């Protein structure tokens, strides 16, 4: 790329990005608005991040009561250990924010449920701790569409980048014509 061209600093860079999946647990997933879309797009994010070598973290809210992460996701996340939490925000999830900083992560892609509770509080706390946050709007949900819409507005107003699964993956790719591009193109179809 031409050294004289400046790229927008908000464009995701795979060298400093992580994926955070917030509380997509079996017992509450089915009462969410568009649960199949949340699972489908979260799977695309997981698979794309694996291809690109991007670190993935996932949390479970009170797993004793809400059960484990949805099975389809666990199949893809089998090499990772869920971070269990009692706080709504992932800021209370066992040194997660410190781990991100230690790994020189400055951009965090967030997906999960519920948009207006755990996702929103996590996003606001990530922003307060100087992370850029990209919310995959098609991979988050709430029980009520109204709560989802208000959460997107609030997160955006506070500085979060509201985007989509496909936009995230192509930003992380940066260029076409690579093996990674071919693999991710198949995922998003």
Q: How many domains does the chain have?
A: 1
For the chain, the C-alpha Rg in angstroms (whole number) is: 16
**3 state SS for 20-76:** EEECCEHHHHCCCCCHHHHHHHHHHHHHHHHHHCCCEEEEEECHHHHCCECHHHHHH
The structure's pTM equals 0.95
CB neighbourhood size of 182 (10 A): 11
Region 167-172: mean pLDDT is 95
Examine residue 72 and state whether it is found in any structural domain, yes or no.
Answer: yes
Examine residue 84 and state whether it is found in any structural domain, yes or no.
Answer: yes
| pLDDT tier, 72 (very low <50, low <70, confident <90, very high otherwise) | very high
Examine residue 53 and state whether it is found in any structural domain, yes or no.
Answer: yes
Q: Of these residues, 118, 125, 134, 138, which one is catalytic? A: 118
Q: Of these residues, 85, 90, 134, 138, which one is catalytic? A: 85
At residue 176, the 3 state secondary structure works out as: coil
Examine residue 85 and state whether it is found in any structural domain, yes or no.
Answer: yes
Boundaries of domain holding 31: 14-188
Active site residue 23: yes
Active site residue 118: yes
Examine residue 9 and state whether it is found in any structural domain, yes or no.
Answer: no
Examine residue 7 and state whether it is found in any structural domain, yes or no.
Answer: no
Examine residue 21 and state whether it is found in any structural domain, yes or no.
Answer: yes
Mind listing the pLDDT tens digit for each residue in 7-40? 899 999 999 999 999 999 989 998 999 999 999 9
Mind listing the pLDDT tens digit for each residue in 96-155? 999 999 999 999 999 999 999 999 999 999 999 999 999 999 999 999 999 999 999 999
Q: Does the pLDDT at position 173 exceed 80?
A: yes
Q: Give me the residue label for tokens 């649960």.
A: 35
Instruction: Give the bridge partners for 109, in sequence order.
Output: 19, 134
* Cβ(24)–Cβ(70) below 8 Å: yes
Examine residue 46 and state whether it is found in any structural domain, yes or no.
Answer: yes
The CATH number assigned to the domain holding 146 equals 3.40.50.850
Q: Does the pLDDT at position 1 exceed 80?
A: no
Q: Of these residues, 23, 125, 134, 138, which one is catalytic? A: 23
């Amino acid at each position: 790329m031409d050294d004289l061209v400046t790229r927008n600093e908000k464009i995701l860079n795979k060298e400093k990005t992580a994926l955070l999946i917030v509380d997509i647990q079996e017992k509450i997933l089915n009462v969410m608005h568009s649960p199949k879309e949340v699972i489908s797009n979260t799977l695309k994010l997981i698979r794309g991040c694996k291809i690109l070598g991007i670190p993935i973290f996932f949390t479970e809210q009170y797993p004793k009561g809400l059960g484990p992460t949805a099975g389809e996701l666990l199949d893809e996340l089998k090499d990772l250990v869920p971070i269990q939490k009692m706080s709504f925000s992932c800021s209370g999830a066992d040194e997660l924010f410190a781990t991100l900083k230690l790994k020189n992560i400055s951009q965090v892609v967030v997906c999960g449920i519920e948009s207006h509770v755990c996702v929103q509080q996590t996003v606001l706390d990530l922003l307060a701790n100087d992370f850029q946050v990209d919310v995959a709007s098609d991979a988050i949900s709430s029980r009520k569409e109204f709560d989802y819409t208000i959460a997107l507005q609030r997160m955006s107003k506070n500085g979060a980048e509201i985007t989509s699964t496909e936009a995230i993956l192509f930003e992380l790719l940066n260029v076409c014509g690579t093996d990674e591009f071919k693999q991710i193109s198949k995922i998003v179809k």
